Structure 1
Amino acid sequence: MRNSTPSHTDSKIKNYYRFHSHIYDITRWSFLFGRTSLITMIPDLPPQPRILEIGCGTGKNIEQLEYHFPDAVIVGMDMSTEMLRKARNRLQPSENIRLVNNPYGRVSLNLDQFDLILLSYSLTMFQAPVDDIFNHLHQDLKPGGYLAVVDFHTSRFPWFRQWMEINHVNFDGHFLPLLKKYFIPSQIKTHRAYLGLWTYFQFIGRQVYKL
């Protein structure tokens, strides 16, 4: 059974996005690179695919997923009520879209497994034990399904890593090696941002059948 007890970190992140939800879309375009191109990298999915986005925020990626996979059933999950309010205002009402206000991994989704799970700048914000995160992903992803991730990787500047930690982002570069370990890589790209101030990665991987 998944742990449903809220953590102190959960409260801090919710408070963080209570403010940032109002400026998110007008500021993050200059910071969160590779989101749109990641979706174009996703391989063909079966008809009427089931898609989960973890940390769906204001719904920007869900708009793109609807465009590329118009027959998909999409579940967007976020722990911030304010961010989901923005998503509901952005998205057209649809029976194929469901928005869930919960931290991922804390409660069971009680849903069938997914053909695709997307994490866009959300993986590095997880504070739960890493093994727990990947175990939940394996439980929720169909055998042979795809995991698509775009996120921060690392920076050679200690002051910048410390600043990102203040903003609840883990910047030590350990997530990409773990993704390669837990999933079968299909596509991996790393990029430099602002002349190397930091690097970010795009990862497409397939579910392994046994851990």
Structure 2
Amino acid sequence: MTAAATPHPLERYYRLHARIYDATRWSFLFGRDRLLGQAAAALQAAPVRTAPRIAEIGCGTGRNLAALARLLPEAALTGIDLCPPMLRRATAKASPRTCLVCAAYGPDSLPPAATDCIVFSYALTMFNPGWDAALDAAARHLAPGGLLAVADFHDTRAGWFRSWMGVNHVRLDGHLLPVLAARFDTVRQEVRPAYGGLWQYFCYLGRVR
């Protein structure tokens, strides 16, 4: 694991939350397992290579990487996150085929056009600013026909809830899906309600053009 060049404000937030993340986030980070299953099925249906190369951006505690290692035992996995407290948790879960990198995600984070699937799980709505640059980097890093897999918050009608999520570093105003559809060729897209419609979340699969 390489060291981050500079600390990030979110590191302070996750010094506490890393300890309770997996025990609590299941109650509102919906769609993650569905997305991972769909991505694994898509990679198996049209494999580019025997061992697909998959990267998760904002991999956190490594929960999704561990699931992908079970779904795709031959896959070469990379997890990128800029919060050391979260990556310490991920290290304990990492398979021998997993590489963890502590750094901000950017154009030079991965080799160009060499990754078969890039996963963003409840990460893009927290990249403020920077979600658009992250999608530009993903398009650069994906191999031709490579798969982008995203699960994230979508929108809410409740202004108070949108404001509260903003306090917790999450942008919740439906901004991502139109951009994903414009930049990638949509394979599958689902928008679902959570907690009786208090908010919506989405799962998206698309291929780089």
Same fold (TM over 0.5): yes
The offset of 1:207, in angstroms, is 0.4
- Partner AA of 2:109 in structure 1: L
Q: Residues 1-150 of structure 1: matches in 2 within 5 Å? A: 11-42=8-39, 43=42, 44=44, 45-46=47-48, 47-92=50-95, 94=96, 96-105=97-106, 108-111=108-111, 113-150=114-151
* TM-score for the superposition, normalised by structure 2: 0.90
The offset of 1:129, in angstroms, is 4.3
The answer as to whether partners of 2:110 and 2:141 remain within 8 angstroms in 1 is no
The offset of 1:163, in angstroms, is 0.4
- Partner AA of 1:97 in structure 2: T
CA distance in 2, matches of 1:102, 1:5: 7
The offset of 1:138, in angstroms, is 1.0
The offset of 1:18, in angstroms, is 1.4
Structure 1 unmatched runs, 5+: none
Percent pairwise identity: 43
CA distance in 2, matches of 1:24, 1:35: 14
CA distance in 2, matches of 1:85, 1:25: 13
- Partner AA of 2:30 in structure 1: F
The answer as to whether partners of 2:18 and 2:86 remain within 8 angstroms in 1 is yes
Cα pair distance change 1:183/1:17, threshold 3 Å: same
- Partner AA of 2:108 in structure 1: S
Give the SS at the match of 1:22: helix
The offset of 1:193, in angstroms, is 0.3
The answer as to whether partners of 2:8 and 2:82 remain within 8 angstroms in 1 is no
Q: How many aligned positions are there?
A: 199
The offset of 1:68, in angstroms, is 1.4
The answer as to whether partners of 2:80 and 2:102 remain within 8 angstroms in 1 is yes
Task: Name 1:195's counterpart in structure 2.
Answer: 196
Give the SS at the match of 1:48: coil
Give the SS at the match of 2:66: helix
Structure 2 unmatched runs, 5+: none
* TM-score for the superposition, normalised by structure 1: 0.89
The offset of 1:5, in angstroms, is 8.1
Cα pair distance change 1:126/1:21, threshold 3 Å: same
The offset of 1:127, in angstroms, is 1.8
CA distance in 2, matches of 1:177, 1:5: 33
Over the residues paired in the alignment, what is the CA RMSD in angstroms?
1.7
- Partner AA of 1:88 in structure 2: T
Deviations 1:135-191 (A, max 9, x none): 211111111000000000010000000000000001011101100000000000010
